[in-house]
Structures are given as structure tokens and as C-alpha cells.
Chains A and B, each alone.
Chain A
Amino acid sequence: MARSQKFSIQKHHIGTHLVLILAVIISIVPFLWMILTSFKTYEESIRIPLTVWPAQWNLVNYITVWNKFPFLNFYFNTFFVMVVVIIGELIISSMAAYAFARLNFPFKNAIFIFCLSLMMVPSQIFLIPQYDLMVKAGLNDTLIALILPRLFNVFSVFMLRQFFLTLPRELDDAAKIDGCGFFGIYYQILLPLLKPALVSVAILSGLSTWKDLLWPLIVNNSMEKYTLSAGLALLIGEHTTIYPHVMAGSFLAVWPMILLYFLAQKQFVEGIAFSGIKG
């Protein structure tokens, strides 16, 4: 009896492994195909029947795309915007989250609910007026245009407020007795305890900036001001498309975040998981 039960558990695990291996294959084959193609010559890439391995591993496609598109600008723009957005958003959101969680002021709940209701509005509705605003301010085709509208994120305020609420009130009271002001309580006492939540917000905010396509595509039109995401859209030409070039460009665009993810896997996973926590 005991033996058969043990056997059935193991058999069950074989099924689990098979499903997960299939999921792994489906998840990474596209990336492997991208890498393989990026090393092929154009002729190899359009050979029928298709060849899996490139005859020669040379970097010629990478060099071509690198010279044709300002990838250094793409990298700089993407990371600069990402870092500034993360820092700005963390400051603005954590201050507001603290105020909503801890301080009393007239109309607090009404203001908070009003902010939450903005989460329901699809972002496309803001695009035309925001674009006009940027043009009027002379900020279109600048990195500031990519940063400014992203600094005010209701979702991260909401998440951080939940975390402030989990911290015991006694911390505030003890600090108050020691003569700490409200801002001091936020900055010196509570914020350090919130570090894991701040890291999660930073990752979520960084990822969404990293992925964003529509806004950078609309608001900036010179290539030097494009992010990686928007730059990729340039790779698909109007006339012919040389896929080894496109795949080399794609690889140049995706590797930094995948590397970051491998280095900080725990934080990434916690960050994404964080987005599913609700109040």
C-alpha cells in the first residue's frame, strides 16, 4: 500500500516535469531562434529547407545594425529615463502614500478615492492632450517628455499605502514622543522599514518604462531621442526586411534587462508578485 502510493506520487511528478519542460521550451525557443538568426547571413536565413545553425558565427549583422542605428543613444535614453522615473516616482509616491496612510487632513478619503478612480482610465485617453502639452512647452523630442508624465503613478501610491498600513502605529507614537515631526517619521522611521516594497515598486516602474512603446513613439521623432523599444520599430523597414539584422537589433535591445533579471531574480519575482497584492 505504502509502496504503491509512493510510486503514484512519483509518476505524478513525471507529468509535472513534462508540462514544465514543454513550457520552458515554448518560452525560450523564440529567444534561441533570435540569437541563431542574428548570426546567419541573409542567404542562410532564407534557405529552404531551413538551416538551424549558422555556418559561421560572425558579428557582421551586429556591426551593421550598430552602425545603422544610434544604439548608444537608445541605451543611454532608455536607462536615463528609467533611472530618473524610478527615483522620482519613488519619492512622489512614497510621500503621498505616507500621507494617505498616516496623516489626517480634510477630504483625505475623497482625494484618495478620486486618485484610485484614475486607475480605471485607459492611458490612451491622455495621449493627445499630453502630446499637445509637450509641444506647447517645447519639450517634444526630449528625454524630459519621456520622464514627466510617468512620475505620477497612482498604482504605486496605492501599493505603498498598503505597506505603510502594515507598519505598527507604535513606531509613529514613539518617534513623536522623541520630538520627531510628521515628515521625520516618514523619512527616518518608516521609509527604511519599507525598503522591500520600494524595491518592488522600483522594479515595476522600471519594467513598465522599459516596455513602453506608444508614448516614446509619439512624442519623440528624431532617432537620437528614441528608447530601445521605439528604436526597434525602426528596424522593420518599409520595403525589404533583412531578418538577421532585425534579430541582431532585437538581441541588442533585450539582453540588458534579461541580464539584470538573472542578477536580481528574487527582487524581480517579488516585484511582479507585489503587483498582484490587493487591499
Chain B
Amino acid sequence: MAIKNTFIKKTARKEARTGYLMIAPLMIGLLIFSVRSFFVNFYYSFTNKSAFGNPKFIGFANYEKLFHSDKFYAALENTFLYVLLCVPFVIAISLLLAVLLNKGINLTGFYRTLIFIPAVTMPAAIGLIWKWILNYEFGLLNAIIRLLGGQPQAWLSDPNYVLLSVSAVLIWADVSLRMIVFLAGLQNIPKSLYEAAEIDGANNRTKFFKITLPMLSPTIFFVTLMEIIGVFQIFDFIYLMIPMNSSGMPAARSLVSYFYEEAFVRNNRGYGSAITVILFIIIFIITMIQMKLQKKWVFTES
């Protein structure tokens, strides 16, 4: 008995040692690059850090400046507008396309292959391509509008349109990615549920709202959360499509664009840090709300 006990203790110790060793590379990396960076960034947000020299502690000065900056409020507002505008469209369109692709009609593979191409394209290229299409004088979109007898617009420099244009590009880029996730979710719904519903005489509408939507609700919640967090960090398309000094920029600038300009163009690193802290707090709150809602709304099988 005693021998057995020491043996078990020995293996347990060995198991623990192996466990720590196997998570060690990950943990060391996370501590250096994420955890340390998180706190250093937080500290920087209370300093006047620039590109050179030692940062000096200045208390809440950066945050005070931030909350008195029209540019910050504009960026904050724009970012929320991006989220409110993009997320519902991305989710609705990608869900619709996934449902249509899941019907198993002819040519499904062909359609899916082509609709998916934006998902493997880098945002930098997407930005350039759309910047050209949306060009005021020579762009494809305005050419089509002219052909149809409409009024061409300065999509990327008119403050009335620029946020819509960037949102449209983001929706275009994200739909294909999310569609694939929904499609996988749809394929995991047991066929027997639909067959049973058909026997009971359910039509397509009923089947969608009574089977598809509830069964897919965990995926929908997860994808929505990912999309919200992603759009809150919108930067690439704005950076590629709208020059910093363009008349469209004030109406397009997101929090991350503002962060990039301050931290890496103007070298106001401390101020830039404060912007990311605000971004973190917003995303943290939204994730918490979403988690709470999930417990309430998402259908679970058990």
C-alpha cells in the first residue's frame, strides 16, 4: 500500500512537471509579449512618452486631453457607427448566403468557391482595389452610376459618404469569411430535425425560425461577438483608402486610425497608449454584456 502511494505521488509529481514544461514556452511568450506589454502600455498612458527620451509621469493628463479632444469624440463616434452599420449586415448577408448554399442545389461548390475569394485576400489589397473602384473621376462605380443617369459621388472624400463607403468595403470583405462559419454550423444540424418537421407539415419559414435559428444560435452569438470586436478595431481599409489629410478623414477616422496617427505618425506614444486603454475598456464591457446575453438567449441542447 505504502509503495503504491509513493508510486502515485511520484507519477503525479512527474505529471505536474511535464505539464509546466509543456505550457512553459507559451506562458513565457505571453508574459513577455502580452502581459508585460499590457501593463507597460497602461503605465505609458500616464506619461508623456514620445519616440525618444525617457517618459515622464504626468498623471491623468493624457486622458484629460483625450476627453477634451473633438478628434477623439469623432473617432469614437465613427467607430460605433462602423459597428452599428457593419455587424448587422455582415451577419444577415452571410447567414442568408450560408442558408442558400446549404440547400444542396446544383453549382453550390462553384458559387461557394468564388464567394469565398475575398476571405483569402489581404485587406491592404482589398483597400487598394476598392479605392480605385470608388475613385471620383475614373472609378467603376461612378461610371456605372453615370451610365444609369445618376449623380456621381466623391465616395472617399465627401464626409457624407466616406463612412458608408468604408463600411461597404468591410461588409464585402467579411461576409465571405463569416459565411463559411455559418455554413459549417448549418451542416452540423441533424437532418432528422427537418424531416420530423416536414412530417408535421412545417413550411420553410417555420423550419428556419423553429429549427435553423435556434440550433445555430451558439454560432450566431460567437460570430457576432467576433465581428463586433473585429469592427471595433477597424484600421486597414481606412488607412489604405483615405489619406490622413483628406477631407473625408474626419468622418472616417476610427479609434485605431487615431491611435496609429498619434502613436506612430506624431510620435505621441503616451497619448496613443491612452487611446488603446479606452478601446480595451469598450471591448471588455461589450464582451461582458455579450456573455451575459448569451446565457439568457442561446439555445443549448441539454
Contact = CB atoms under 8 A, between A and B. Distances in A.
Q: Is chain B found bound to chain A in the same assembly? A: yes
Interface of A: 12-13, 16-17, 19-21, 23-24, 26-28, 30-31, 33-34, 37, 45-46, 48-50, 91-93, 95-96, 98-100, 103-106, 108, 111, 115, 118, 120-130, 132-133, 148-149, 151-152, 154, 157, 181-183, 186, 207, 210-211, 213-214, 218, 228-230, 232-233, 235-236, 243, 246-247, 249-250, 253-254, 257-258, 260-262, 265, 268-270, 272-273, 275-278
Given A130-B37, A210-B122, A253-B125, A122 B97 contact: no
A39 to B, nearest CB: 14
B3 to A, nearest CB: 18
A125 B126 CA distance: 25
B279 A95 contact: no
A23 B280 CA distance: 35
Q: Interface size bucket, B side?
A: 35 or more
A26 B133 CA distance: 12
A150 to B, nearest CB: 9
B37 A37 contact: no
Among B18, B222, B239, the one with the most A-chain Cβ atoms within 10 Å of its Cβ is B18
B114 interface: yes
Interface of B: 12, 14-20, 22-23, 25-27, 29-30, 32-38, 40-41, 44, 49, 96-97, 100-101, 103, 105, 107, 111-126, 128-133, 135, 137-138, 140, 143, 146-147, 172, 176-177, 180-185, 204, 218-219, 222-223, 226, 229, 232-233, 235-236, 239-240, 256, 259-260, 263-264, 269, 272-273, 276-277, 279-280, 283-284, 287
A125 B38 contact: yes
Nearest to A152: B29
Contacts of B132: 33-34, 37, 243, 246-247
A26 B38 contact: no
Contacts of B41: 125-126, 128-129
A182 B14 contact: yes
Given A27-B115, A232-B122, A257-B121, A128 B22 contact: no
Q: Which are the 8 A-B pairs with shortest beta-carbon distances?
A: A276-B181, A273-B184, A152-B29, A105-B19, A103-B19, A129-B37, A105-B16, A129-B40
Given A50-B138, A108-B19, A258-B121, A128 B44 contact: yes
A16 B130 contact: no
B232 A103 contact: no
A126 B44 CA distance: 11
A257 B280 CA distance: 32
A19 B218 CA distance: 26
B128 A232 contact: yes
Nearest to B241: A236
A111 B23 contact: yes
Contact of B118 (A27, A126, A249): A27
A68 B35 CA distance: 41
Given A103-B22, A108-B19, A45 B138 contact: yes
Given A99-B18, A121-B38, A34 B129 contact: yes
A269 B128 contact: no
B121 A154 contact: no
B279 to A, nearest CB: 5
Nearest to A16: B100
A152 to B, nearest CB: 3
A236 B128 contact: yes
B26 to A, nearest CB: 4
Contacts of A33: 129, 132-133, 140
B117 A246 contact: no
B34 A152 contact: yes
Nearest to A268: B120
A218 B264 contact: yes
Given A104-B12, A154-B30, A249-B128, 7 more contacts: A103-B18, A122-B279, A211-B123, A233-B240, A261-B116, A261-B117, A273-B181
A269 to B, nearest CB: 6
A103 B15 contact: yes
Contacts of A28: 114, 117
A148 B33 contact: yes
A27 B137 contact: no
Contacts of B36: 129
Contact of B280 (A111, A125, A157, A268): A125
Among B107, B119, B222, B229, the one with the most A-chain Cβ atoms within 10 Å of its Cβ is B119
Contact of B23 (A34, A96, A186, A207): A96
A258 B117 contact: yes
A85 B176 CA distance: 25
A124 B256 contact: yes
B128 A103 contact: no
Given A96-B22, A149-B33, A20 B97 contact: yes
